């Protein structure tokens, strides 16, 4: 529901390490996504493929939340986003954080850069042998571009 989506956005910007990002990208072939019209049942696979765009999709959701006034721009800091997308999950699962990824470290850092460059999520993706086609979540929509950088 809308109330649930707003509550999730508010949990993200709250900055509590109890809430962190996880994804379950499920690239079901396109033929499994179609309903069975002969039987009248809507027994299609429910998963979505989002793997290449998950970070951008999170930022899109935060932008939408800010636009509607559900969260504020001031709440959506780099530290909050980095905690939610990266650090809190590592802490929860007790995965050591490399010093090269540390926000406050003086050593070189490897980061991602997110920019609005007009990247459009493809309408579908076909395997190299042409046998499997999947439809990404929010196909045809624009989202953030991501690249890795050395700081």
The encoded tokens of residue 54 equal 């998950």
- Closest C-alpha to 5, from 55, 53, 57: 57
The encoded tokens of residue 37 equal 């019209």
CA 131/CA 125 separation, integer angstroms? 11
How many CA atoms does the CB half-sphere of 12 hold within 13 Å?
A: 28
CA 107/CA 109 separation, integer angstroms? 6
| Residue in 24, 60, 129, 150 annotated catalytic | 24
- Closest C-alpha to 21, from 59, 66, 75, 72: 59
- Specify whether 24 is catalytic: yes
Give catalytic residue positions.
Answer: 24
């Amino acid at each position: 529901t809308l109330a649930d989506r707003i509550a999730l956005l508010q949990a993200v910007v709250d900055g509590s390490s109890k809430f962190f990002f996880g994804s379950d990208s499920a690239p079901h072939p396109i033929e499994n996504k179609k309903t069975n019209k002969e039987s009248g049942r809507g027994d299609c696979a429910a998963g979505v493929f989002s793997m290449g765009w998950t970070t951008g999709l999170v930022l899109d959701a935060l932008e939408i939340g800010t636009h509607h006034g559900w969260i504020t721009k001031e709440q959506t800091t780099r530290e909050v986003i980095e905690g939610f997308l990266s650090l809190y999950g590592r802490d929860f699962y007790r995965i050591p954080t490399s010093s090269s990824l540390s926000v406050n470290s003086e050593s070189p850092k490897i980061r991602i850069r997110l920019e609005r460059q007009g990247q459009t999520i493809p309408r579908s993706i076909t395997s190299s042998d042409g046998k499997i086609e999947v439809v990404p979540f929010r196909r045809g929509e624009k989202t953030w571009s991501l690249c890795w950088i050395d700081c």
